[in-house]
Structure 1
Amino acid sequence: MKRIDIDDPEVDMDLSLRLLYRGELFTGEVEEYLGGVRVSLASYADGFPHGPSRSWHKNGTRQSEGTLRTGSPAGVWRTWHANGTLAVRMVMSDDGARQLARCEWDEDGKLTKEWHADGHADGG
């Protein structure tokens, strides 16, 4: 699979916000680095984020992880606080059109919000 750096001078976006590499719609993996440290890795298909996507905080801990379908989150998406504690767990429909559930935690791991599309909601 082809892998490129988002900061490569041959990377561009078209008017539809699709990623281009050397003037062609890109399919493969795109990395982003800050200060020499990789902070994101995402799969693309025909110029759109599509497939696994991961990001890391500057300290190296996971920041987010999930799957994108033509640019929208699909299935389970998780984000973490910089200390490594789970911050959000979101469940989206497979097509990314609807949020089905969302739970949020503070940096100490205490549940602060819970919401489900079936109407069940909690404050923690």
Structure 2
Amino acid sequence: MAEPARIDFDDADCQDGLLITYQGTPFTGEVFERHPNGQVIAVTGYTDGREDGPSHEWYPTGELKAKGLVSNGRAVGLHQEWFRDGSLTREDHFDNKGNLLASRTWNEDGVLTEEKIYRR
């Protein structure tokens, strides 16, 4: 039987806190999670059981909460988080090896409260 391309988080098993398996096999595809109200609140890509690909999170009421990209278990590129009203709360930039390059944080009034640049 072919492995499904998308499974519910409740049907997945997590090994050692990192490896996602489905029916005993490292999973490749998307894992989604639902809030008790039925709203999808997270979709994360996996390859051979490791987080790999785009990841999105939503508030239970449907507003986008966070998104980012992971490659072979490491955060890469731009990762963003939003307040429920749609304004940015955090932005992190990673290189292609997963090293954090820069981070910015805003308060609910849209004021930049912290900015860090990391040297590599």
TM over 0.5: yes
C-alpha offsets along residues 60-83 of structure 1, whole Å, 9 cap, x if unaligned? Answer: 111110101222211110011122
Q: Percent of pairs identical after alignment?
A: 35
Task: State the partner residue of 1:5.
Answer: 8
1:1-43 Cα shifts (integer Å, max 9, x gaps): 70111012xx212246311101111000110001201000010
Paired position in structure 2 for 1:121: none
Alignment of 1:85-104 (within 5 A): 85-96=87-98, 98-104=99-105
* Counterpart AA for 1:29: E
CA contact (8 A) 2:44 2:51 kept: yes
Letter in 2 for 1:5: D
Give the secondary structure class of the aligned counterpart of 1:7: helix
Contact 2:39–2:61 (Cα < 8 Å) also in 1: no
TM-score (norm 1): 0.86
**Which runs of at least 4 in structure 1 moved beyond 6 Å after TM superposition?**
none
Unaligned runs of 5+ in 1: 119-124
SS of equivalent residue, structure 1 residue 84: coil
Secondary structure of 2:113's aligned partner? strand
RMSD value, Cα: 1.5
SS where residue 97 of structure 2 aligns?
A: coil
The answer for the alignment partner of 2:62 in structure 1 is 60
Number of aligned residue pairs: 115
Alignment partner, residue 82 of structure 1: 84
Q: Which residue of 1 aligns with 2:34?
A: 33
Distance 1:44 1:70 in 2: 9
Alpha-carbon distance change, 110 to 16 in structure 1, aligned in 2, over 3 angstroms = closer
TM-score of the two chains, using structure 2 as the length reference: 0.88
Match of 1:122 in 2: none
Provide the rounded CA distance (Å) in 2 between the counterparts of 1:79 and 1:72: 17
